[in-house]
Homo-oligomer: A and B are copies of this chain.
């Protein structure tokens, strides 16, 4: 079997060898807890403070405002529940949108059950939130707005600067989930103008189990994990030193080559989009065509299940064929049969949402791999459609949203 092509990097990435090398000494040599004052502890303490600086540098933050977590889910949960609880004297209304990640939507749902009110704004056919709608939704008792920086499934980059301006004007705390942007596109939290920013190491070649929440000085937030005095009493628990060191190293590596790599991936992304659109019919690009993550491609493919496509690509039967790993819907809900709530929020009918595939690139992705993947995708879809009882060529259900055409149900 030839070398596999991994194009599911929005789910998780391979840990960079330099990142792993940086982590190893903290398992067996400098394995002390940073909370302790003796030499072994100091080594660990210095290591996590260097990681804090590097993480801060990646997003233009002050290192004193970086708090380490176990990943973006914890960061997002913390931001939502922590600000809601800290600000409940002011009000209990929160604004977000229908196409958010579950790690935002679920804590919001939890708060709703406990007396908070939540406004989930719609998104347009490209997945964009309208800043004017955010402004209109703000009430006297609104304490928090949470909008993802870029959608993990369809790659659409939100107008967060504009929303930040509105939030600031109305003195509402603004959280941005940057799990898909940190390490992939230039991020400067000062320029973004938000108050909290979540990130996750394993999305940019760092280890799983490590992330951070940036909390602007002065922002009120109660801890989510409570106990020891770690992280200035804001996030308890023995530091995951190797994980944090890995996050820091990944941040340093990403920052060193951010603009070049972002451009390189954008080229490959657009190559893939162009090739799919020119070689396949009855397909729809999901997400905005240009306001889009450099490494994200998402298509709905009429008449077949995304899961069948994904599995066929990952277990190729032809001799010498290379497995291609992509995803369908959101990796977090894979294994369930629910169609992606994000694709439904775009206005896609459930059948099209079921037939979606996401191709997400990494620094390992090459133009040659992209070419191979697109060819394999086209062949697999051709084969699956030939067997599909529901696919009728040309019975168009869909058109790309950013061309101004909306989805229509097939007649």
Contact = CB atoms under 8 A, between A and B. Distances in A.
Contact of A230 (B14, B311, B332): B332
Most buried by B among A14, A17, A200: A14
Nearest to A311: B37
Given A20-B24, A27-B207, 11 more contacts: A8-B36, A20-B28, A70-B70, A73-B236, A101-B227, A103-B226, A103-B237, A105-B227, A106-B223, A107-B226, A236-B332
A24 B19 CA distance: 12
Contacts of A243: 208-209, 240, 243
A69 to B, nearest CB: 8
A350 interface: no
A202 B243 CA distance: 13
Interface in A187-235: 200, 202, 207-210, 222-230
Interface string A7-42: 010011111010010001001100111011111100
Contacts of A242: 207-209
A369 to B, nearest CB: 15
Contacts of A230: 332
B332 A228 contact: yes
B38 A11 contact: no
Contact of A315 (B8, B39, B109, B208): B39
A310 interface: yes
A71 B325 contact: no
Given A236-B106, A323-B38, A33 B11 contact: yes
Interface in A36-81: 36-40, 70-74, 76-77
A39 to B, nearest CB: 6
By size class, the interface of chain A is 35 or more
Given A39-B315, A202-B238, A228-B332, A325 B208 contact: no
Contacts of A241: 208
Contacts of A133: none
20 contacts: A12-B31, A12-B33, A14-B31, A36-B334, A37-B310, A37-B335, A38-B323, A39-B314, A40-B325, A70-B74, A73-B238, A102-B226, A106-B226, A107-B227, A208-B243, A209-B243, A228-B332, A229-B336, A240-B243, A243-B243
A4 interface: yes
A348 B238 CA distance: 27
A171 to B, nearest CB: 24
A332 B40 contact: no
A95 B241 CA distance: 33
A105 B229 CA distance: 13
A73 B310 CA distance: 38
